[in-house]
């Protein structure tokens, strides 16, 4: 097994893992019941998926200008992703969208709250 093959395998494992995280986040955005759960699922999996995808592309590209550009793109996305998620959550909170508490959840299900 040559070094080039090992690098190729590692890069594809990272790229496929990042893609899987992103797809799982998209499915979570569709399946979760409320806005806050959907927002959380999308933001966490987007960050993890992005890190894995960019790491895989950097490994695949080797040491080059492309790697530097990918790292800069990753840093930009890593900083703006959570910031935009916070802005969306803050806008929802200001507009009156309130997260459900455990007590409200239990009342809906008919369980007694202590």
pLDDT by residue for the chain (114 residues), tens digit each? 899 999 999 999 999 999 999 998 888 888 888 888 888 888 888 888 999 999 999 999 999 999 999 999 999 998 998 899 899 999 988 998 887 766 666 666 666 555
Answer yes or no: are the C-beta atoms of 81 and 47 closer than 8 Å.
yes
Answer yes or no: are the C-beta atoms of 67 and 11 closer than 8 Å.
no
Nearest one of 33, 32, 31, 38 to 89, comparing CA atoms? 38
Report pLDDT for 10. 96
3-state SS, one letter per residue, for 18-32: HHHHHHHHHHHHHHC
Report pLDDT for 34. 85
Q: Where are the alpha helices (DSSP H) in 1-114?
A: 3-31, 35-61, 65-94, 102-109
Number of domains forming the structure of the chain? 1
Does residue 27 form part of some domain? Answer: yes
Q: Which domain holds residue 97?
A: 3-109
Does residue 35 form part of some domain? Answer: yes
Does residue 44 form part of some domain? Answer: yes
Answer yes or no: are the C-beta atoms of 35 and 97 closer than 8 Å.
yes
Give pTM, 2 decimals: 0.76
Report pLDDT for 25. 87
Does residue 69 form part of some domain? Answer: yes
Cα distance between the two ends of the chain: 62
Does residue 50 form part of some domain? Answer: yes
Does residue 114 form part of some domain? Answer: no
Residues 75, 91: Cα–Cα separation, whole Å: 25
């Amino acid at each position: 097994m040559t070094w080039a093959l090992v690098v190729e395998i590692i890069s594809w494992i990272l790229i496929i893992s990042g893609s899987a995280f992103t797809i799982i986040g998209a499915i979570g955005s569709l399946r979760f019941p409320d806005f806050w759960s959907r927002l959380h699922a999308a933001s966490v999996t987007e960050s993890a998926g992005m890190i894995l995808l960019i790491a895989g592309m950097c490994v695949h590209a080797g040491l080059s200008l492309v790697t530097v550009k990918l790292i800069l793109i990753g840093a930009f996305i890593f900083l703006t992703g959570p910031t935009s998620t916070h802005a969306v959550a803050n806008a929802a909170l200001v507009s009156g969208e309130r997260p459900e508490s455990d007590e409200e959840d239990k009342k809906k299900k008919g369980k007694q709250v202590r």
